[in-house]
Chain A
C-alpha cells in the first residue's frame, strides 16, 4: 500500500497540472476574500460591517469556493489514466484494483488537504494585515473565523475525493469536468428554485459545503448546520469513493 501511495503521489507531482490547479485555487480563494473586504462599506452595500461576526465568518469561508479546483484535480487524477492509458501499466503492476483506487482516493484527499491548507492560509494572510490596518480585531475563536477556515480545508479535501469518484463514473476527462461544473453551477442552484424538489436541496453536495462553512448561498435557503452539512458532504464523498471502487473492480481497463 505504501508503494501505491508513493506511486500515486509521484503521478500528481510530476505533471504541471496539479500545480496549475493549485494556483487557480489560490486565485479563486484570494479573489473572494479581497472582493468581500474591499466592497465592504461602499454605499448601498448590503453586507454587515467588517466588525460583525457574520461578515468575518463569511470572508473566512469564501476560500472554500476553491473546491471547484479540488474536484477538478480529483477528476483529472483518475481520468488522465484512462485518457493516456497509464491505467495499463498501473493495473499491470498492481492487479488488485481495489487497492489502487484506495491509494488514489487517499492521495486525492491529501492533495485536497494541501489545497485547503494553502487557501486557508492565504485567506488568513490577506485578512490579518488588512484588518490590522483598519484597526479591526478578528474574532478568531469568539466569532468562529478559525472554524470557518478549518471548514474550508474540510470542504476542499472532500471534493477532491468526490472528484475521483466522478472520474471513475465518467471516464471521459472533458465530459467529467464539464459535467461536474455544470452540476455545481447550474443544476444544483436550479433544484433550489423548483418548489417540488426544493426540500432536497440542503442535502446536495454544494449546499452541504455551504452549510459547513456557514457561507450564505441563495436568499431564503434553509441550510443544515455545520455538523450536519459536514456529515452530508462526507456521505457524498464516501458514496462516490465506493462507486469508484466497485466500478474499477468490475469494469475492463481500456
Chain B
C-alpha cells in the first residue's frame, strides 16, 4: 500500500469506472482463524445516501478500513471511482472518512487538530475555521478535545472528513452520541450532500432506526457476509407481507401461484405471503374456496426485519428476492 508497492493494478476491470462510485468486490479479511469479512461485494452510487448496516462485530469497520487502504484485504478489492485508495490522486481532497469518533489527540485543540490535517492535505488554514463553523463547533474551537462530549467528537470527526470538500464520504457510526437535534441536523446535511451536490455518502450503523430516515439504499451485513443490498423501499415491502391462517396452506399456496408471490410458513403456524395485498389474497382464497381463519397485513417493522435478517445464524433467505 506504500508509495513503492503498487501491488496489483489500481484499475478495477469489472464495473465501469464511475466517478464517486464505491465498489467492494469479494472483499475478505482473515484475522488468524476468524473471517471478519467474507467475500463481501456491494456497490454504493453517487447522489445517494447508503446505509451500511450490521450488528456490532459484523465487519463494518474492517470493510471500511479495507476500502480506505488502512487494512490490506486478504483477498478481493475495494475501489472508489474505479481506483484503489492508494492510487487515488489527492485522496485528502476527494474522499472524506471518519472511523469512529476517537481519532483525536486529547490535548490538542479542535482547531489545531484540523490545522494539522490542513497542512497535510495542502489546504489553507482558514478551511479549519470554515468546517468548524459548518459543524457548529466554532465556539469550542480552541478548547482541547479531552473536554468534548461524544456528540462534539462526532462533529469534529465530520469536520475532519469535510476538510478537503470531498465528493465521497464514508462515515462510521456518525449518529452515535448525537442528540435528536444533532441527528436531524446530520440528516439534513447528508441529504443535501447527496441530493443537491450529488456526492456519494456511505454511513454505517448498527441500528437501522437511527439512519432509516436518512438513507435511500441499504447494504446489510452480518458475520462478514452480505445479507441484503437494495433500496429501503424494497426492504420495507418485504417486511410487510400478509399474514394468513388457514387449515389448508397447500391449497392456498396453489391458488396464489398465478400471482407470483412468495408463500412461506411462519413459526406460529400461519402463512406469510409476500408480494400481494391482503385484499388480493382474500379474493383469491374466496374464489378458490380456501377456508381462512385470519387475514391481516404483516406488522413487522423495518427494525424487526433488520434484526431477523442479521440475528439468525445460518443462511436466512434474502427478502424481496
Known: A14-B112, A249-B1. A94 touches B120 (CB 8 A): yes
- Give the number of residue pairs across the A-B interface with Cβ within 8 Å: 95
Partner pick for B105 among A86, A88, A91, CB 8 A cutoff = A86
Most central of B3, B99, B109 by chain A CB within 10 Å: B3
Chain B stretch 61-89: residues in CB contact (< 8 A) with chain A: 65, 68-72, 85-86, 88
Residues of chain A within 8 A of B121, CB atoms compared: 3, 93
Report Cα–Cα, A248/B5, bound state, in Å.
12
Residues of chain B within 8 A of A14, CB atoms compared: 108-109, 112-113, 115-116
Q: Which of A5-13, A175-183, A186-194, A217-225 contacts B (4 or more CB under 8 A)?
A: A5-13
User: Within 8 Å of chain A (Cβ to Cβ): is B190?
Assistant: no
The smallest beta-carbon distance between A10 and chain B, in angstroms, is: 5
Partner pick for B70 among A10, A86, A92, CB 8 A cutoff = A92
Residues of A in contact (CB 8 Å), total 30
Asked if B69 contacts A91 (CB within 8 A), the reply is: yes
Report Cα–Cα, A4/B102, bound state, in Å.
22
Extra contacts, 14 of them, besides A7-B119, A15-B108, A252-B65 (Cβ < 8 A), are A14-B109, A85-B100, A85-B102, A88-B99, A88-B103, A92-B69, A95-B86, A95-B88, A95-B91, A96-B86, A97-B2, A98-B4, A249-B4, A253-B70
User: Within 8 Å of chain A (Cβ to Cβ): is B122?
Assistant: yes
Chain A stretch 228-254: residues in CB contact (< 8 A) with chain B: 248-249, 252-253
User: Within 8 Å of chain B (Cβ to Cβ): is A134?
Assistant: no
Asked if B119 contacts A10 (CB within 8 A), the reply is: yes
Residues of chain B within 8 A of A80, CB atoms compared: 105
Partner pick for A95 among B1, B108, B115, B164, CB 8 A cutoff = B1
Residues of chain A within 8 A of B113, CB atoms compared: 14
User: Within 8 Å of chain B (Cβ to Cβ): is A226?
Assistant: no
User: Within 8 Å of chain A (Cβ to Cβ): is B107?
Assistant: yes
Partner pick for A91 among B70, B88, B104, CB 8 A cutoff = B70
Report Cα–Cα, A4/B120, bound state, in Å.
5
Partner pick for A93 among B92, B99, B104, B105, CB 8 A cutoff = B92
User: Within 8 Å of chain A (Cβ to Cβ): is B95?
Assistant: yes
Asked if B112 contacts A10 (CB within 8 A), the reply is: yes
Report Cα–Cα, A84/B107, bound state, in Å.
11
Q: Which residues on A are within 8 Å of B, measured CB to CB? A: 3-4, 6-7, 10-11, 14-17, 80, 84-86, 88-99, 248-249, 252-253
Asked if B117 contacts A89 (CB within 8 A), the reply is: yes
Report Cα–Cα, A90/B121, bound state, in Å.
9
Known: A10-B116, A14-B108. A95 touches B103 (CB 8 A): no
Report Cα–Cα, A16/B107, bound state, in Å.
7
Q: Which residues on B are within 8 Å of A, measured CB to CB? A: 1-5, 65, 68-72, 85-86, 88, 91-92, 95, 97, 99-100, 102-109, 112-113, 115-117, 119-122, 160, 164
Known: A7-B120, A14-B108, A80-B105. A93 touches B91 (CB 8 A): yes
List the 9 closest A-B pairs by CB distance, nearest first. Answer: A249-B2, A7-B120, A93-B92, A96-B3, A14-B112, A6-B119, A7-B119, A252-B71, A253-B70
The smallest beta-carbon distance between B82 and chain A, in angstroms, is: 16
CB closest residue in chain A, given B157: A89
Residues of chain B within 8 A of A11, CB atoms compared: 105, 116
Residues of chain A within 8 A of B86, CB atoms compared: 95-96
The smallest beta-carbon distance between B171 and chain A, in angstroms, is: 12
CB closest residue in chain A, given B115: A10
The smallest beta-carbon distance between B145 and chain A, in angstroms, is: 9
